[in-house]
Amino acid sequence: MRKILILFAHPKFEHSEANQAMIHAISGLENVEIRDLYELYPDFNISIQLEQEALFQADVVIWHHPIYWYSCPPLLKQWIDLVLEFGWAYGPGGVYLKGKYLLNAITSGGSDLAYSSEGRNQHPIGNFLLPFEQTAKLCLMKYLAPFHLSGTFKITDSELQIKANDYRDFILELRDSQVIDRPLRPKTSLS
């Protein structure tokens, strides 16, 4: 059973029904730790040592956040800037995250269509996550395809419950499966 570390960052969590449903669906799962960064660090004064210790214990790391201006909320960005130190996470001697899995679990008000080459954002959601992918590569981690709950502005209660259950199933699969097979990009055929 893998240890899952979820680094949750939402500055207005109390206003997000989607993220509340997702977090509620996975709360209390064995070997799943949820660290609410805005609750832990309301002053943005991040304990680098505590966060590195949590990372070191994890097999799978998930940055769970809403899409904010095509990226993550500011506290998660600061967390990345401070916690993933040179000589610890990357660079000479920076091997403490090597081989761990990393992915984003994200919510967006925009629909899947909005995050496509034909949609208003003109790019698929994965394009906006490239800095996270590159961060994983720099830290010698295995970056996986994201979990994306889209269209949160128009989602019905029943659709939200289904998506929250999908998130729970997804977390359980990451925790319990023998092999993690979640390719970042679909395999292309050469036929």
pLDDT the model gives residue 113? 65
Best CATH choice for the domain 4-176 from the list 3.40.50.360, 3.40.30.10, 3.40.50.300, 3.30.565.10: 3.40.50.360
pLDDT the model gives residue 111? 64
Domain limits, the chain: 4-176
Is the confidence at residue 183, as pLDDT, over 90? Answer: no
Is the confidence at residue 26, as pLDDT, over 80? Answer: yes
List the single range of 38-42, 130-134, 179-183 with lowest mean pLDDT.
179-183
Q: What is the pLDDT of residues 124-155, one digit of tens each?
A: 777 778 899 999 999 999 999 898 887 778 88
Q: What is the pLDDT of residues 50-63, one digit of tens each?
A: 999 999 999 999 99
Give mean pLDDT, residues 153-168.
Answer: 91
Q: Who has greater pLDDT, 7 or 14?
A: 7
189 band by pLDDT with thresholds 50, 70 and 90: very low
pLDDT the model gives residue 8? 96
pTM equals: 0.90
Give mean pLDDT, residues 12-22.
Answer: 86
Residues near 124 by Cβ (< 8 Å), separated by ≥ 6?
A: 115, 116, 117
Of the CA atoms within 13 Å of residue 9, those in its CB half-sphere come to: 20
Cα–Cα dist 141/97, whole Å: 6
Cα–Cα dist 17/151, whole Å: 12
pLDDT the model gives residue 184? 60
Q: For residue 125, give the nearest of 111, 137, 138, 136 by alpha carbon.
A: 111
Q: What is the pLDDT of residues 71-129, one digit of tens each?
A: 899 999 999 999 999 999 999 999 999 999 999 999 886 667 677 788 786 877 777 78
Q: Who has greater pLDDT, 54 or 184?
A: 54
pLDDT the model gives residue 28? 95
Q: For residue 163, give the nearest of 180, 147, 176 by alpha carbon.
A: 147
Q: Angle at which helices 17-26 and 157-176 pack, to 10 degrees?
A: 40
Cα–Cα dist 167/112, whole Å: 17
